Every structure is written in C-alpha cells, then in structure tokens.
Amino acid sequence: MGGTFDPIHHGHLVAASEVQAQFGLEQVIFVPTGQPWQKGHEAVSPAEDRYLMTVVATASNPRFSVSRVDVDRSGPTYTADTLSDLRALYPDAELYFITGADALEQILSWHRVEELFELAHFIGVTRPGYSLDDAHLPQGSVSLVEIPAMAISSTGCRQRVHAGLPVWYLVPDGIVQYITKRGLYRPDDAGPAPEW
Ligand code: ATP
Ligand code: MG
C-alpha cells in the first residue's frame, strides 16, 4: 500500500487490515513515497518523518511492515518503480497494490500505466466522498472491496493540527505524540506545542 502518509491515519490502517483479512494476505507492506510527483506543488513533510510515523503506527501488527524502497530512491516516486523494486525483493510473491477510491480514479494518469497492471493485481477500497468503480480500468485487473467508512484524510489531520485542534482518535496515539514532538503541521508563528 503506497501513500504519502503525511500523517498515517486510521483510514489507512483500517483499509490495510480489512484487505489483509479479506484476501488472506501474508503481509501488508506500507510504502511511504519519496518526493510525491503529483503533490510537488505542496509542501510535504520530510520523508524520514513520514517513514517513522508509518513504522510507529504499524509496529504492533505482525502482518504489517514498512518498506523504504521509495524513500531511498532519489527522484520522484512512481508506482511502477515501487512495484518493480518489491518484485525484486520478493521474486516469488503474488503482489497486490491497495488503493483508495480516489487514487483509483487517478490511476490512468499514473506514470507507465500500461506496466502497472502486469506488476500487481490492484485492489480498490471504498472511501467516503468518492465513488468506487473500475469502468475505465482494464477488465480483471482490479478488485473492488467495501471497507468500513473512515472519513479521515491526512489533509484534514494537517489542517486540524495547524488550527490547534486535536487529532486524537483520527490517528494512533503514537502519531499524535510524534507530531507534537516534531512540531509537524504547526504554523511557524505558533507558540509552544499544546501539552497532551
Ligand atoms: P492527503 O489528504 O494528503 O492526500 P490521504 O488521506 O489521501 O492524504 P494518502 O497518503 O494520500 O492519504 O493515501 C494513501 C492511500 O490510502 C491512497 O490509496 C488513498 O486513497 C488511501 N486512503 C487514504 N485515506 C483513506 C480512507 N479514509 N479510506 C480509504 N482509503 C484511504
Ligand atoms: Mg491522498
């Protein structure tokens, strides 16, 4: 499951857990992006912070792990590279790529799209506010899965922290603490971090 994970939140974790269970996956590998090419115009937190938050949030689940392939590759992140790197690391594995409905809508605009469906089977999961359909995607290349609706986005979490609102229960406790410790998403002129 690729993502910016800026920050990782319970929508990501529920999606991963639900797909793991429904498909009987051995593990779900979270792959934080390097410099995300479609988000180049926005400020994205340092890759190392996003990587560490992903590790913190997934550490307690024996079926979850985190890969550095995108963080360690220089240049923009393309999912075709992500999947090729994972294929090299796990030559015998059956690879699935988990995306939310919003990302699935965008998929045809992705780099080297014709390769993508040969590299992995795609799993599109429901996400509040987006419709999930595969009408425009190659037949048989994508499975659509209904998951518990979590109306949470990283953008919303960043905006809340920026405005001084809590993100408790939207993200794991360790992520609330990590965001506070590193002063992520706070306005430059904000005083000391709230005490929680
Ligand atoms: P941002 O608001 O910064 O775009 P995001 O919440 O969309 O953040 P991403 O890191 O962009 O999170 O998403 C990684 C993957 O997780 C994408 O495939 C996205 O569709 C999926 N995803 C994110 N949030 C949810 C959610 N609440 N429910 C289902 N899928 C989700
Ligand atoms: Mg997103």
**10 Å Cβ neighbour count for 16?**
25
Q: Which of 9, 22, 77, 102 has the most ligand 1 atoms within 8 A of CB, as the residue to mutate?
A: 102
Lowest mean pLDDT among 40-49, 65-74, 144-153, 158-167: 40-49
pLDDT tens column, 68-79: 999 999 998 999
Ligand 1 atom nearest the C-alpha of 99 is 18
How do the domains of the chain map onto residue ranges?
2-150
Question: Using a 6 Å cutoff on CB, does residue 155 contact ligand 1?
Answer: yes
Q: What is the CATH code for 2-150?
A: 3.40.50.620
Q: What is the pLDDT of residues 174-195, one digit of tens each?
A: 999 999 999 999 998 877 666 6
Angle at 147 between CA 145 and CA 151, to 5 degrees: 130
User: What's the confidence (pLDDT) of residue 109?
Assistant: 86
Q: Is the CB of 124 under 6 A from ligand 1?
A: no
Q: Is the CB of 6 under 6 A from ligand 1?
A: yes
Q: Which residues on neighbouring strands pair with residue 35, listed in sequence order?
A: 76
- How many whole angstroms separate alpha carbon 182 and alpha carbon 14? 25
Tell me the CA–centroid distance for residue 45 and ligand 1, in Å. 15
Assembly ipTM: 0.99
Is the separation of the CB atoms in 121 and 96 below 8 Å?
A: yes
**Residues 6-54: pLDDT tens digits?**
999 999 999 999 999 999 999 999 999 997 555 656 689 999 999 999 9
